[in-house]
Each structure stands twice: as structure tokens, then as C-alpha cells.
Amino acid sequence: MLSDKIKLTAKDILEKDFKTAMRGYKPEDVDQFLDLVIKDYEAFHVEIEDLKQENLRLRKLADDTPRRSSQPATSATPGTTNFDILKRLSNLEKHVFGSKLYD
């Protein structure tokens, strides 16, 4: 799961303390950058939670929806082949159009 892979929280980032060195970074720059990272983490967390809720809702909807048959909807009787259908169609055309069809 994603939550198992995330090692930092917004609070962890906020409370991180960096040691200063002789020629280190400006603490203000680090703080500003960390503030941006914290905002992104919080936004990602909210988005992830929203997506989890939507995923659960859609899964429930899918489970509640009756399954459709995987067979195509046709009016042909079971065991009817394409050849049988074409033969019946040809006979119907002959009956409806008569000799006009073959002139």
C-alpha cells in the first residue's frame, strides 16, 4: 500500500531541525522550501484520501450493479450460426423483393 511506502509526514518535515555549519545554507531559505514541501504533502494527502473514498464508492457501485451477460445480445436462437442467419436473410429478401432482386 502507498501509506506503507511514505516515510515522512507533514509534521516530520515541519519539525526537522538542520544543524548549522560554517558555510551552510541560510536557515530562512531552508524553512521557506520546507514550507512548500509541507503544503504539497498536505495537498497530496488530501488528494489520496479523496481518491481512496472515490475508489471505495465505485467498487461498491460496481459490486451492486448486476453483471451483464458476456454474450452479445442477438435475437437468434442458441446454436444458430452465421451461415444459418445469412441463409434466412437471403430467403427473406427473395420473399420481399421477389425477382426484382435478381434482375
Instruction: Identify which of 4-13, 80-89, 90-99 has the greatest average pLDDT.
Output: 80-89
Name residue 10's amino acid: A
- The pTM of this model reads 0.48
Query: Per-residue pLDDT tens for 21-76?
Result: 777 888 888 888 888 888 888 899 899 999 999 999 999 998 888 776 555 555 65
> pLDDT at position 87, please?
87
Task: Please report the sign of the dihedral spanned by the C-alpha atoms of residue 20, residue 21, residue 24, residue 26.
Answer: positive
Query: Per-residue pLDDT tens for 52-67?
Result: 999 999 999 988 887 7
Q: Where are the domains of the chain?
A: 1-67
End-to-end CA distance of the chain: 71
Nearest to 12 by CA among 44, 47, 46, 38: 38
d(C-alpha 73, C-alpha 61), whole Å = 24
